[in-house]
Structure 1
Amino acid sequence: LSTEPVSVMFKVYCLSVMTLVAATYTVVLRYTRTVSSTVMYFSTTAVCITECIKLFLSLGMLTKETGSFGRLKASIVEHVFWSPKELLKLSVPSVVYAVQNNMAFIALSNLDAAVYQVTYQLKIPCTALCMVLMLNRSLSRLQWFSVFMLCLGVTLVQWKPAEATKVQVEQNPFLGFMAIAVAVLCSGFAGVYFEKVLKSSDTSLWVRNIQMYLSGIVVTLAGVYMTEGAQVIEKGFFYGYTPWVCFVVFLASVGGLYTSVVVKYTDNIMKGFSAAAAIVLSTVASVTLFGLQITATFACGAMLVCVSIYLYGLPKQDTTKLPRADTDKEARQKLITV
């Protein structure tokens, strides 16, 4: 984490923006897939455009970091054109993130935004498991307890899911849940893999992002023409795009950058509050926009998920330092022995 001093107001600002982006993204994406239009756009093209925008934003941040276009050019030549192995290494999370982003479109085409937001928190135990296996980290008993609590909460949410009455398309809740399951696995693995790559060298975060997004553009373009190539050629790359769809792409693009800032300047407890707030906002928006009817099991499950997120983010107790009384007692025992 960064040691740069930042004000509490700046932290609150970053968390507020990330919370609003996360909640708004799920709600607006759900709206574009179920209510807004009878002409359905191609989700794979939206994912591809998002990768392109992230690349340009990362180039802008790297320009700011290096201080000049000359240094930017030198950095790109060194880490992109002369580092094919690094590009290949970053292509792994590119593929995984591309799958994850496409699964989000499938999930929100079949599940309400609030149900999606709660269920997607399964990424926490998945990430924890990947950290244990890939980074040799350990979890406290409280964190393991919170993981089981979160799984119980998600089970309750899916047991008798809340129903939306204003959705205009046929839905398949099982398909939506399976899409979230794949997205969760992708999120956990890709996040930990990217962290491992970052910590294996002193290469700038923005350089790593550029390497990943370049690979991501290639991967998502291949995905477009492998899954919907004939339709895209016939109808056009931007078929079905509306201002709402453009808004979805914009939110997806800036959301990742704000997440990086939040990871850099805040702690797990504040991120937990942000996730819980996003769940609440998504639920309120779903009730208003989609006629969501909240069931008792959904309410209990959502509450368990919010509490588990808070507990998981609590700092570990330092067991290496004994309390003062115990230290004094051991000192007296040593004197008696001597």
Structure 2
Amino acid sequence: MALIEASPATMGGPTLLGMPVKQVSLITLTFQNSALILLMHYSRMMPPSGDHRYFTSTAIFLTEVIKLAISLTFAIYEVSRSLAPSTPATVIFEQIYNAVFSGDGWKLAIPACLYTLQNTLQYVAVGNLDPVHFQILYQLKILTTAIFTVTMLGRSLSPKRWVALVILTMGVSIVSIPSSGSKETSFMIHDMTDHFFPRSVHELGQVANGMGEVARELTKRTVDGLADVGGSLMKRSATYEGIEEDQNLAPVMNYSIGLSAVIVAALVSGLTGVYFEKVLKDPASAASVWTRNIQLSFYSLFPALFVGIFFKDGEEIAKHGFFDGYNWVVWALILLQAFGGVLASLCINYADNIAKNFATSISIVISFLFSVYFFNVGVSLTFLIGTVLVLASTFLYSGPDRKRGRPPPINIVNYEKTTIDPMNTPRNDDKLAVPNPLENVKGMGLSTSRPSSPCAIIPGSRRLAVSTETNKADHEGWVGEMVARDFID
């Protein structure tokens, strides 16, 4: 059975294992997005398994390698279906090679570089924000996607959708207000637990004596990172040797850096998504979605390798190793991210880019529930209001228009309609007509002279009865008319 095949006309689209690809890809992407954000945040907060936390540049590079392998596998399967079973493997790979490196494949180099930048910014943002705030703020990509859809694809949005985008912007702004003035601290809320369950005598004395914000921040920096992952390690003096290792164990989140990174990532996401959709749905191109994924992953390897691994983290990777800090969490994160990239391409191909973004919005609720339970994320009134506005704008934007106006009439170019009346066409203008040898004889049938009595055909005899009162001229005219009619018939 084909993995992805054309469905009957009643289904309205291709199917995946008997189910519509559009719905399957959107639902799967929703849960994948929630799991990815939660796992990504945990991987940046958990104690490293080696002497250093894993390098995000290596994770991004491996993600693109796995995406390339997945896309290549499906492309081989797709090409082999159209060929004979005895076709050599070299012919299949030759067709894939020609499809990938010919035509307009170079156009995917631009979104490939932008996608690599977007993934890097996501790691920076999710390492400085909790999962819920990251996903709420990251919904700005819906606004940027809509703007680029109008400008680059030439589509129009209904007034209802523009209202939804305004509500979305308001909701994201409200969510970002509580932490807009925070300093270099984590935004995760532990104030209530600090009051009732102090983790050190020093902290208990600070709370009891009502000391200032500076002293409280020093204590919170000591225990916040460990509280996120359930650790129980206490820092030593701030002047000891190996302070960098302890900072890796208990990273401090910077809200300003996280906010800036997520805003830029949302802008880049909207641009790359719309550009990729434009290339993917180009009617002049016959490349399949798997061929486009191969091109995108292949061109993404170069910025991930040269800019990320060699330029950004080359010295540290040479010192600690490529796979330093890797464990099952990091590998699961890489697999989820690679799988999500393929899912996003399917959503863009079989639905559209805006539908993909709004399908991931429902993952906010899932991430919120898990973040409250696992990461001790607190909830404020402003946060709830902003979240409700974002979710409301999501459903308002993605919902169908109930009262659609009548479509405008089709403009048909006015042209002079030329008609030919066959009844009025002069016979003399027909130059191809065959000359009639009895044309002169036919004129004799137009004579008004008629015999005084009609012709009588006696049954059983061929003799014509002609009136004796007709003269000779009338008789000759009548005979000529009869001969002409018999010839024509």
By the TM > 0.5 criterion, same fold? yes
**Contact between 1:272 and 1:310, CA under 8 Å: does it hold in 2?**
no
User: What is the alpha-carbon distance in structure 2 between the residues aligned to residue 193 and residue 31 of structure 1?
Assistant: 32
Report the RMSD for the aligned CA atoms in angstroms: 2.6
Letter in 1 for 2:291: V
Q: Secondary structure at the match of 2:286?
A: coil
**Contact between 2:175 and 2:383, CA under 8 Å: does it hold in 1?**
yes
In the superposition, relative to structure 1, how do residues 258 and 230 fare at CA in structure 2: closer, same or farther (>3 Å)? Answer: same
**Contact between 2:293 and 2:345, CA under 8 Å: does it hold in 1?**
no
Name the residue aligned to 2:188: 163
Instruction: Look at both structures and tell me which one has the larger radius of gyration over its CA atoms.
Output: 2
**Contact between 2:143 and 2:165, CA under 8 Å: does it hold in 1?**
yes
User: What is the alpha-carbon distance in structure 1 between the residues aligned to residue 299 and residue 319 of structure 2?
Assistant: 26
- 1:101 equivalent to 2:119? Answer yes
User: What is the alpha-carbon distance in structure 1 between the residues aligned to residue 149 and residue 141 of structure 2?
Assistant: 12
User: What is the alpha-carbon distance in structure 2 between the residues aligned to residue 136 and residue 187 of structure 1?
Assistant: 19
Letter in 2 for 1:319: G
Name the residue aligned to 2:61: 48
In the superposition, relative to structure 1, how do residues 27 and 164 fare at CA in structure 2: closer, same or farther (>3 Å)? Answer: farther
Range that drifts further, 163-172 or 192-201 = 163-172
Q: Secondary structure at the match of 1:110?
A: coil
In the superposition, relative to structure 1, how do residues 197 and 264 fare at CA in structure 2: closer, same or farther (>3 Å)? Answer: closer
User: What is the alpha-carbon distance in structure 1 between the residues aligned to residue 369 and residue 269 of structure 2?
Assistant: 26
Name the residue aligned to 2:400: 315
**Contact between 2:61 and 2:301, CA under 8 Å: does it hold in 1?**
yes
Counterpart of 1:207 (choices 288, 291, 311) is 291
Counterpart of 2:344 (choices 249, 259, 265) is 259
**Contact between 2:277 and 2:348, CA under 8 Å: does it hold in 1?**
no
Q: Secondary structure at the match of 1:111?
A: coil
Greater helix content: 1
Name the residue aligned to 1:30: 41
In the superposition, relative to structure 1, how do residues 130 and 262 fare at CA in structure 2: closer, same or farther (>3 Å)? Answer: closer
**Contact between 2:145 and 2:273, CA under 8 Å: does it hold in 1?**
yes
Counterpart of 1:275 (choices 360, 370, 374) is 360
1:127-142 equivalent positions in 2, closer than 5 A: 127-142=145-160
> C-alpha offsets along residues 210-263 of structure 1, whole Å, 9 cap, x if unaligned?
111111011100121111111112211111111101111011010122233444
- CA shift, 1:4, in A, is 2.4
- CA shift, 1:273, in A, is 6.8
**Contact between 1:51 and 1:253, CA under 8 Å: does it hold in 2?**
yes
- 1:182 equivalent to 2:264? Answer yes
Letter in 2 for 1:17: T
User: What is the alpha-carbon distance in structure 2 between the residues aligned to residue 67 and residue 141 of structure 1?
Assistant: 47
Q: Secondary structure at the match of 2:280?
A: helix
User: What is the alpha-carbon distance in structure 2 between the residues aligned to residue 95 and residue 73 of structure 1?
Assistant: 26
**Contact between 1:153 and 1:303, CA under 8 Å: does it hold in 2?**
yes
User: What is the alpha-carbon distance in structure 1 between the residues aligned to residue 168 and residue 289 of structure 2?
Assistant: 31
**Contact between 2:75 and 2:290, CA under 8 Å: does it hold in 1?**
yes
Name the residue aligned to 1:328: none
Percent identity between matched residues is 34
User: What is the alpha-carbon distance in structure 1 between the residues aligned to residue 127 and residue 111 of structure 2?
Assistant: 24
**Contact between 1:268 and 1:314, CA under 8 Å: does it hold in 2?**
no
**Contact between 1:163 and 1:293, CA under 8 Å: does it hold in 2?**
yes
Letter in 2 for 1:47: I
- TM-score, normalised by the number of residues in structure 1: 0.86
- CA shift, 1:289, in A, is 1.5
**Contact between 2:142 and 2:354, CA under 8 Å: does it hold in 1?**
no
User: What is the alpha-carbon distance in structure 2 between the residues aligned to residue 318 and residue 205 of structure 1?
Assistant: 32
Counterpart of 1:240 (choices 317, 325, 335) is 325
Counterpart of 1:60 (choices 69, 73, 81) is 73
**Contact between 2:38 and 2:371, CA under 8 Å: does it hold in 1?**
yes
In the superposition, relative to structure 1, how do residues 16 and 138 fare at CA in structure 2: closer, same or farther (>3 Å)? Answer: closer
- CA shift, 1:11, in A, is 6.3
> C-alpha offsets along residues 56-79 of structure 1, whole Å, 9 cap, x if unaligned?
000011112112645531223213
> C-alpha offsets along residues 67-98 of structure 1, whole Å, 9 cap, x if unaligned?
264553122321334x3x73432110011000
Name the residue aligned to 2:278: 196
Range that drifts further, 307-316 or 137-146 = 307-316
- TM-score, normalised by the number of residues in structure 2: 0.61
Q: Secondary structure at the match of 1:25?
A: helix
- CA shift, 1:321, in A, is 4.2
Name the residue aligned to 1:329: none
